Amino acid sequence: TTYKLLLLPGDGIGPETMGEVKKVLGWFNARGTASFETEEDLVGGCAYDAHGKAISDEAMDRAMASDAVLFGAVGGPKWDGVPYDVRPEAGLLRLRKDMELFANLRPAICYPALADASSLKRDVIEGLDILILRELTGGVYFGEPKEITELGNGQKRAVDTQVYETYEIDRIARAAFELARTRRGKVTSMEKRNVMKSGVLWNEVVSQAHADGYQDVELEHMLADAGGMQLVRWPKQFDVIVTDNLFGDMLSDVAAMLTGSLGMLPSASLGAPDPETGKRKALYEPVHGSAPDIAGKGAANPIAMIASFAMCLRYSFGLVEEADLLEKAISSTLDKGLRTSDIAGKGESAIGTSAMGDAIVAELDAL
């Protein structure tokens, strides 16, 4: 099989970190067990400079036709003054909207070599590998009514509305079970059914989806507040956590910070499966932005971007062995003490973006 990837490096450190993914792609193509065909296009500020739009219609068409999109980062001070609807972030928002990316995947992985940099004790997080699956297009961020009204007596009233319909919960639940199958086979669903009707429905629909063909996966329900506590107390009890937009926003930020620096964190967003092929639209990107303060200096950590590609191998293509291999190469590069400046401890020397990419490719060769 040949997989079609669209690379959208974007602005700032985006092209620098994407350059290291290209080395990794070259390595996999040479190895021959899977083959990747890439196209490249503009997104963000560079697209605005070229076409006056944060993403062109042609680039959008290419994204829709690809098996997966790898996205670098967008934005920077150069575009601070551009009109709101064509600002760099508008490119990412259009991709998310047109590809209907409703499922946001945020892993929390702890590489043993960096375990002492965490705020938690080494034994709590060493070897941690969990995945938070956040519903991204529904819930309280979009529900109506959403307003602030004047009450006339100097008081105001603010309303946000949490709304979930069956189909929205069902599709994220199914995504969670399928992801769990490529991992350790366990899903923990988090809501607050004790105080929220949307929590009652969430719990019910997740259980129904589970009964409908996913009984090979273990399902556990947990109240989201207790879940937050468990996430910090003993995170290794989890495999995949599936939760709504608001709880997912908070829990994924907490989980990410258990383990490390912004330069290390990958993410993914998935759409619904195509009714004919079963394939999901997907976009993989690091959590960090374009880092204008270090752009052009060759100092950016490429690991978040490379780990985003490892997620693509696992979750879009089912290439579990290749994904494991790439994650192992990252881990053993760190074991050797190699660090970019963002993860170098006191007294440790740092290498640049390209040297880190080369070291990871050399590890791939050695494994």
Kindly list the catalytic residues.
141, 192, 225, 249, 253
Interface with ligand NAI includes 292 (CB under 6 A)?
A: yes
Residue 244 binding Mg ion, by CB under 5 A: no
Q: Which one of 288, 311, 331, 332 is in contact with ligand NAI (CB under 6 A)?
A: 288
Residue nearest to ligand NAI (CB): 289
Count CB-CB contacts under 10 A for residue 40.
Answer: 15
Query: What are the backbone dihedrals phi and psi of residue 133, each rounded to the nearest 5 degrees, phi first?
Result: -110, 110
Tell me the window of 67-75, 94-102, 222-230, 344-352 that interacts with ligand NAI (CB under 6 A): 67-75
Is residue 291 part of an annotated ligand binding site?
A: yes
Whether the Cβ atoms of residue 138 and residue 168 lie closer than 8 Å to each other: yes
- d(C-alpha 79, C-alpha 329), whole Å: 37
Q: Cα–Cα distances in Å, from 286 out to 22, 76, 265, 302? A: 15, 16, 6, 9
Distance from chain centroid for Cα 351: 25
Q: 194: which DSSP letter?
A: T
Structure tokens at 180: 């769990």
- Residues 119, 71: contact at Cβ < 8 Å? no
Residue 342 binds Mg ion, judged by CB under 5 A: no
State in angstroms the smallest separation of the CB of 53 from ligand NAI: 16
- Least separation in angstroms between CB 252 and Mg ion: 7
Cβ proximity to Mg ion, 191 vs 249, nearer residue: 249
Residue 290 interaction partner, one of ligand NAI, Mg ion, none, beta carbon < 5-8 Å per kind: ligand NAI
249 is an interface residue for Mg ion by CB under 5 A: yes
- Say how far apart CA 340 and CA 20 lie, in whole Å: 13
106 a known binding residue? yes
- Check whether 289 is labelled as a binding-site residue: yes
**Site residues (CB under 6 A) for ligand NAI, limited to 144-183:** none
Evaluate the omega torsion of the peptide bond into residue 145 and state whether it is cis, within 30 degrees of 0.
yes
Q: Quick one: 58 or 293, whose CB is closer to ligand NAI?
A: 293
Binding mask 230-269 for ligand NAI (x = CB under 6 A): --------------------------------xx------
Helix, strand or coil for residue 27?
Answer: helix
Q: CA-CA distance, 126 to 236, in Å (whole number)? A: 9
Instruction: Report the first-to-last Cα separation within the chain, whole angstroms.
Output: 24
Q: Which does 168 bind (CB under 5 to 8 A by kind): ligand NAI, Mg ion, none?
A: none
Distance of CA 321 to the CA centre of its chain: 20
For ligand NAI, the binding residues in 320-349 under the rule CB under 6 A are: 342
**Residues in contact with Mg ion by the rule CB under 5 A:** 249, 253
Which residues define the annotated binding site for substrate? 96, 106, 134, 225
**Residues in contact with ligand NAI by the rule CB under 6 A:** 13, 73-76, 92, 262-263, 285, 288-294, 300-301, 304, 342
